[in-house]
Amino acid sequence: MFELNNQVKVLKKFSERIIIGILFFLFGFCILIVRLWYLQVSLYEGLSEKADNNRIAVVPMPPKRGSVFDRNGEILACSNCVYTLEMSSVKADKLESLFKELEPAIKISENNKRRIARQVIEYGRYKPIIIRNKLNEFEVSWFASHAFKFPELKIKSRWIREYPYCYEVSHVVGYIGRISDNDFRILDDSKIANYRGSQLIGKKGIEKTWETTLHGYTGFKEVEVTAAGKPVRILKSVDPIPGKDIFLSIDIGLQKTIYNAFASKKGAVVAIDPNTGEILALVSVPSFDPNLFIDGIDKNSWDSLNNSHDYPLINRALYGTYPIGSVYKPFVALAALELGKRSSNDKIMDPGYFECGGQKFRNPGSIAHGLVDMYKAIVVSSDTYFYSLGLDIGVDELHDFIKQFGFGQKLDIDLDGEKQGILPSTEWKRKKYSNKKMQKWYLGDTISLMVGQGYNSFTLLQLAQGLTVLANNGLYRKPHLVYKTKSPTLENEERIFYEPLHQVPLNYDNVSFIKSAMKDVINYGTAKNAFLRAPYSVAGKTGTAQVFSLRGSKYNAKFIDEKLRDHALFMGFAPSDNPKIAVAIIVENGGWGSKEAAPIARKIFDYWLLNNN
């Protein structure tokens, strides 16, 4: 009986344990069901998207960059599809052996070797580095048959930028270069996505200022890949939209004519169509080869450009500021007439110098011109006459009048790097100097301004623009380089027009008088030799600008360091009665404008008025 009771108890405990076990099992199963429901229903969309992301790779497709043309359709910058050899995961000490293995078929220049060595250090292990651009068919086929020897190399097709005219237009077109962290910081957040897959961006010139238009829009491919990352199939594709082509107003033939005319000299030229404001030529010499910058310039090439005392990277037409010497005189004479400070018939005696406050301001070479009126003063370039105007015209009156022509201010041209220059006034001097004594404006300061010296400091673009306004009888048009864009896919053109910004209020008789005097500068004055027997009429003015003060001593170029010699200048427009082109020229440390700058102007006018048309 006792044993029976024990068995009953054991069975009862066993049954309880079975029930508890089943309850635990059911509880765990319920938790599993809830968890599965949570994963499959609640988190379905998020987890599904993650799974898709793991098997779908989004591959950006960079667009073809738009081309840059001159006004006649000559290519100044273009993008061509080429085969390139790219490298990843190579240590610096292995480069020489790699180059030797490639040498039987694929030659690599010393410049490229230096660039690659630098980029291996800068880019790290996995960022691809271009070994060679523009592989030909033989090089591609050779590499394909030897690819097993080079697991770290691969051939890719890519767009590469080319600049056919290396030196003639480099300061206008500019160049592209690898996108830097600073470039990404400058880009708007909305534009960063458009540069996925792109390695290059405009760095200088039109390439930079018209970057958005030239770049285009990035496309993409959604590619299904295996766990190892190998592509299986393309799920979706959106083609990139090529950048627009840009047509500049410059003429490459005129650019080449000017560039060759300078030979080994330094300086700049700006030529403008007075009827439209289109810039026909903008040359700065010496220049540089923009092709060096496309895949990253090597150290030796960069040092030779950046450390050169001739500063080839500087756009002298926009960034250089100069005293402009006697080419300023027509504007000063016009100011005297318009402000009623002096009649064109008023005469003074020019003994070769002007004396004021016990100081003598001399003509070049102390040449005496005798009795001169305004007309003769412009033709023979009498400094004494214009010095005397300093007693009549106040500096602030001159400032306000001259400013209307574009001097001393940025002209908002479609290029980067433009300087403001200095158009002096009493207010400017007060802001410039903190010393009270230096803030004071003296009569001698005004006298120097009358002949384009003193505190005057203008860009050559400002001089060309001021001349254009004068040629247009006061009509002010915005100077610009881009006159048309064109979509390569839609084949539609967009012309860019600029309405005149304002009219400088000028008396027509006064303007005609100044132009007439400028015509006789060419016919009988300082520029007559340069334009001898020219079959067209020119109105112009030569100029010679001092780089440093002689302090009363005699100027002799032979005994002065070249960098301290006078600048040679010329400005002029032709034909004088119906201007088609206005030109401003500076030859740095060239000496006399009539001997160095005016002959260059003759070649420019001959090309544009005779050969070109």
Catalytic residues: 326
How many other CB atoms sit within 10 Å of the CB of residue 459?
32
Closest by alpha carbon to 381, among 337, 327, 457, 339?
A: 327
Distance of CA 509 to the CA centre of its chain: 40
- Measured over the CA atoms of residue 249, residue 252, residue 258 and residue 263, the dihedral's sign is positive
Of the chain, the end-to-end C-alpha distance in Å amounts to: 135
Q: Which residues partner with 574 through β-bridges?
A: 581
Rounded to the nearest 5°, which phi and psi values hold at 277?
85, 0
The helix/strand/coil state of 124 is: coil
**Do 180 and 200 touch, CB atoms closer than 8 A?**
no
Strand 219-225 to strand 493-495: parallel, antiparallel, or no bridges (unpaired)? unpaired
- Measured over the CA atoms of residue 451, residue 456, residue 457 and residue 462, the dihedral's sign is negative
Helix (H) or strand (E) holding 311: none
Nearest-angstrom CA–CA distance, 252 and 272:
14
| Relative orientation angle of helices 329-338 and 460-471, to the nearest 10 degrees | 50
Distance of CA 588 to the CA centre of its chain: 21
Closest by alpha carbon to 225, among 234, 217, 213, 216?
A: 234
Within 13 Å and on the Cβ side, how many CA atoms surround 387?
21
- Measured over the CA atoms of residue 578, residue 500, residue 514 and residue 255, the dihedral's sign is negative
Q: Which residues partner with 582 through β-bridges?
A: 272, 573
286 preceded by a cis bond (ω within 30 of 0): yes
Question: What does the chain come to in residues?
Answer: 613
Nearest-angstrom CA–CA distance, 610 and 606:
5
